[in-house]
Amino acid sequence: MSENPFESTLAGSNELLESENLLSATSEVLNLPNPSLEFCTLSTAETLERLGTDPITGLNSIEEVSRRKVEYGANEVSVEDDESLIKKFFMNFLEDPLILLLMGSAVISFLMGNIDDAISITMAIVIVVTVGFVQEYRSEKSLEALNKLVPAECHLIRGGQESRILASGLVPGDLVHFRIGDRIPADIRIIEQVDLSIDESNLTGENEPVHKSARRVNKESFNDQPNCFIPLSNRTSIAYMGTLVREGHGKGIVIGTGTNTCFGAVFEMMSSIEKPKTPLQLAMDKLGKDLSFMSFIVIGVICLIGIIQGRSWLEMFQISVSLAVAAIPEGLPIIVTVTLALGVLRMAKRKAIVRRLPSVETLGSVNVICSDKTGTLTTNHMTVSKIWCLGSMSNKSNVLSIEKNKNGNLKNYLTEDVRQTLMISNICNNASFSHEHGKYLGNPTDIALVEQLSKFEMTDIRQNLKKLKEIPFNSKRKFMATKIIDSEKKCGIYVKGAYEKVLENSVFYLNKNGKPEKLTDQLKEVITDCANDLASDGLRVLAFAKVDVDNEKAELNESEISGLVFTGLIGMNDPPRATVKPAIEQLLQGGVHIIMITGDSENTAVNIAKQIGIPIVSKDVSVLTGDKLNDMTDDQLANVIDHVNIFARATPEHKLNIVRALRKRGDIVAMTGDGVNDAPALKLADIGVSMGRMGTDVAKEASDMVLTDDDFSTILTAIEEGKGIFNNIQNFLTFQLSTSVAALSLIALSTAFKLPNPLNAMQILWINILMDGPPAQSLGVEPVDNDVMKKPPRKRSDKILTPFVLRRLLTTAVFIIMGTVYVFMKEMAEDGKVTARDTTMTFTCFVFFDMFNALACRHSTKSIFEIGLFSNKMFNYAVGFSLLGQMCAIYVPFFQNIFKTESLAFFDLVFLFFVSSSVFIADEVRKYYSKKQELEDPYYYSNV
């Protein structure tokens, strides 16, 4: 199977490496020769020559790329399954002790001359094993599909063109660049780096990030090592596949792909280790074992009583083993896995990729969602809306509105302070134009600023400037600064950021003629008032400033950001997504607390919150700023957070405090994030949600779920699916266990009252196929009922087998037992003995009961006519084929010999239809009266 080496495999590798034996084996694997050992000692020029590539344009020949793809294969870590399907299939006959017992029974029947019984039992064994094998195969294939849901991507340069492609398409010689938050897509020889540190803990086990360099490693320094071997951690010119960039950025040449990487070698070794089961699977295993233990006791008693009564020991042995196969839900964990996996694949189609199966169990319990504003609640499509400069627009109400002048000539408004503000927005900008895509790529804010230039007939001037140093924007610093030298050899520092930070370091402002003037406290208040007014309109406000400096000192640090000349403010609009407001309404209706977390100002956040329906009682109660949050302990925050719906001017570190406070209260928290610093909060949250488009690889790695469209409303659909999957599991559990209890009780009652067995071994095995087969599986893919969001979140401690589920399945089992016993006794009373017709009627009655029971189990609280009789196509096909199989068992001579049946009249089927429908009618009546109770008490089902 093909694994995505950047996802769950890596997450599990740290746990696997804890084993001493495995760690030793891993070290041996990593000590084997591979490209990283060779290329770390080569210079950059030697590497480029060896791989025939260019340090600026990368590989220039498409034909050469195609040739290398054929030679080296896809950049994927895959492990061939040595066992064939046929071998796996036949192994199932030997691994299940109950199947071995049935095979023994067939052999004994053959030796005693009961050829028909021997053939019948053998065919039944083949069918039972085939059904189980298909279920397990589907489970494996579904889980394989999950591993491919979040394909790794990378920044590639080929033929001088930059693009973002799937990492699987890389070949040796490709030129790639990487920055903070990226995962390294292959083994790479670094050729350029700026403050580059890489976290290699998932490969080497060392927690401290390793500082990387483009310089080759001196091989002579390791003469004391065996064969001059250079340890992994000392290959400082190599970036390993699957490791994370923690600081800085760099560029390098791919030297190894797929299994020809250090991680690929480790993965091949780890592939034989079985992955741990999910908590739900473990719960199902325990439930299965408990039920098996109880079933064995009942079956043993039945067998013992039957032999004491003088019945044939071979008959009782076959009945007992068949009952064990039918009554013990050995397929339960497999069906749970299939249901979870298929549910997760459905979520993926709705843009929510769940990376870990256990997260599905948690989704239905989420009662607090903490969401970023930009890009999640909003469209993340920034447009410059308003510009304000103190020099030319001293009155705060005199603002240049770009939206109102869409078709006007904005060049007429280009005073010197406006021009300087736009120029700084151009210089402090990392958006780059992609000829391949025909547009700018990068941060949405940067794109909006650089796209604005053309409206003022200005051009991008960055190619005419030399950048000396850059201080990147981060949530703590809240500004970005760039130091440049222009064509006239003049040096300056240009700053953009939060207006509070920029004003704090400004002592002058630029008048409309471009001359600096003294910035007084009174003028700072005017700027602050204007910024707040812009924020109150829901705009993101950035301030711009500059200062001329001596060009001799090329370094730039934060202490130099002082004595600035303030030039102006730009307000950008990022409207709410159309889907967010109805999603929030549904979540609030379902008892979910929505919290917006943003780095923007309080006014901006409140404006957006009102637009999307987040309730604001008052700013004092519902809004907390980062400054206030800094002064609060976790306990203090936990006491007030119940009323807080907005955290403004918040940092990723604040997110961690918020999650801790919520979990201290016992809340189940979903937290969204996209940056490197969001990773701790995503990891701590019960459900960490990262962004598929804007999210860094670090954030995706720490998260449990990835939103491929970065849309908040997708979280709603994921929670809906999570709740629906849990309900479906309870529904097929009700179906399976009620069938199991009914079959056991039916044989137990007939044995206890010295009645002939109403079902023979072959009929019991057919019932097992129905119980574990397609009808049961089809209940697991029942479409999600949208009304699940009207119910309060499920408690984490709630068990799957609740008192409500137990009462329901036992009631159903009683109806099946009573109806089947009634038919058996009625038929037997007509002639005073058990005939083939009697067992055929009883057998068919039980199967019909099972089909009506499956129909009733499609929903626990809603009538089948409410959810739609034909809304689940898979269920319709499963029941249709099951009934067709039953008709074959009754009317086809070949199957009549196997199941010991005979043909029934049409009116016999009509009679059985009406008798068996009683279980469905009774459940419909229960749902009707429960519906009335729910109208009076919305929490009725929670209480029961």
- The model's pLDDT over 462-496, given as tens digits with 9 standing for 90+, comes to 988 888 888 877 777 888 999 998 878 889 999 99
- The model's pLDDT over 322-335, given as tens digits with 9 standing for 90+, comes to 666 656 665 566 67
Residue 584's domain comprises 352-378+577-710
Q: What is the band of 16 on the pLDDT scale with cuts at 50, 70, 90?
A: very low
Q: Are residues 443 and 558 in the same domain?
A: yes
When pLDDT is averaged across residues 522-548 and rounded to a whole number, the result is 92
- 716 in any annotated domain: no
Q: Are residues 174 and 215 in the same domain?
A: yes
Strand 506-510 to 564-573 pairing: parallel
Whole-number pLDDT of residue 172:
93
Tokens representing residue 398 in the block: 């005199």
Lowest mean pLDDT among 13-27, 55-69, 363-377: 13-27
- 676 in any annotated domain: yes
- 437 in any annotated domain: yes
Q: What is the band of 1 on the pLDDT scale with cuts at 50, 70, 90?
A: very low
Q: Are residues 602 and 458 in the same domain?
A: no
Q: If you ran DSSP here, which 8-state letter would residue 576 be given?
A: B
- The model's pLDDT over 785-809, given as tens digits with 9 standing for 90+, comes to 877 888 888 776 677 778 888 899 9
Lowest mean pLDDT among 297-301, 704-708, 726-730, 936-940: 936-940
What percent of the residues of the chain are helix, what percent strand, and what percent coil, each to the nearest 5? 55, 15, 30
Q: Are residues 684 and 813 in the same domain?
A: no
Tokens representing residue 662 in the block: 């919520």
Q: What is the mean pLDDT of the chain?
A: 81
Whole-number pLDDT of residue 679:
78
Q: Are residues 634 and 494 in the same domain?
A: no
- 791 in any annotated domain: no
Q: What is the largest CA-CA distance in the chain?
A: 115
Whole-number pLDDT of residue 449:
93
When pLDDT is averaged across residues 632-642 and rounded to a whole number, the result is 87
Q: What is the band of 848 on the pLDDT scale with cuts at 50, 70, 90?
A: very high
Does 911 score more than 90 pLDDT?
Answer: yes
Give yes or no: 81 in active site: no
When pLDDT is averaged across residues 908-919 and rounded to a whole number, the result is 95
Q: What's the pTM value of the predicted model, to 2 decimals? A: 0.70
Q: What is the band of 12 on the pLDDT scale with cuts at 50, 70, 90?
A: very low
Whole-number pLDDT of residue 760:
79
Active-site residue identified among 199, 372, 711, 785 = 372
Measured between alpha carbons, how far is residue 359 from residues 173, 341, 689, 702, 912 in Å? Answer: 39, 11, 11, 13, 44
**Domain end: 573, 593, 621, which one?**
573
d(CA 345, CA 153): 20
**Domain end: 238, 271, 304, which one?**
271
- The model's pLDDT over 390-410, given as tens digits with 9 standing for 90+, comes to 988 877 678 888 877 766 678
Rg of the Cα atoms in the chain: 35
Q: Are residues 609 and 677 in the same domain?
A: yes
Q: Where are the alpha helices (DSSP H) in 433-477?
A: 444-451
Q: What is the band of 33 on the pLDDT scale with cuts at 50, 70, 90?
A: low
Lowest mean pLDDT among 16-20, 162-166, 190-194, 307-311: 16-20
Does 354 score more than 80 pLDDT?
Answer: yes
The set of residues, in sequence order, having a beta carbon less than 8 Å from that of 67 and lying 6+ positions away, is none
Q: Are residues 480 and 565 in the same domain?
A: yes
CATH of the domain at 400: 3.40.1110.10
Element (H, E) at 525: helix 521-536
d(CA 716, CA 694): 20
φ, ψ at 440 (rounded to 5°): -80, 145
CATH of the domain at 630: 3.40.50.1000
d(CA 664, CA 655): 14
68 and 171 in contact (C-beta within 8 Å)?
yes
Contacts within 8 Å (CB) and 24+ apart, 168-171 = 168/74, 168/75, 168/76, 169/69, 169/74, 169/75, 170/75, 170/254, 170/257, 171/59, 171/65, 171/68, 171/69, 171/72, 171/75, 171/254, 171/257
Q: Are residues 226 and 305 in the same domain?
A: no
Lowest mean pLDDT among 190-199, 244-253, 551-560, 756-765: 551-560
- 851 in any annotated domain: yes
More confidently predicted of 224 and 250: 250
- 789 in any annotated domain: no
d(CA 851, CA 776): 10
CATH of the domain at 807: 1.20.1110.10
Whole-number pLDDT of residue 138:
62
Q: Are residues 746 and 670 in the same domain?
A: no
- 453 in any annotated domain: yes
Per the document, the length of the chain is 944
Give me the number of domains the chain comprises.
Answer: 4
- The model's pLDDT over 63-96, given as tens digits with 9 standing for 90+, comes to 999 999 999 888 887 655 556 677 777 776 666 5
Does 15 score more than 50 pLDDT?
Answer: no
Q: Are residues 730 and 854 in the same domain?
A: yes
d(CA 905, CA 266): 66
Q: What is the band of 21 on the pLDDT scale with cuts at 50, 70, 90?
A: very low
Tokens representing residue 891 in the block: 């009317």
Q: Are residues 704 and 726 in the same domain?
A: no
Measured between alpha carbons, how far is residue 928 from residues 791, 866, 925 in Å? Answer: 18, 11, 5
Nearest to 287, CA basis, from 779, 725, 734, 722: 734
Element (H, E) at 530: helix 521-536
φ, ψ at 660 (rounded to 5°): -60, -45
d(CA 250, CA 711): 31
- 615 in any annotated domain: yes
Does 31 score more than 60 pLDDT?
Answer: no
Q: Are residues 337 and 364 in the same domain?
A: no
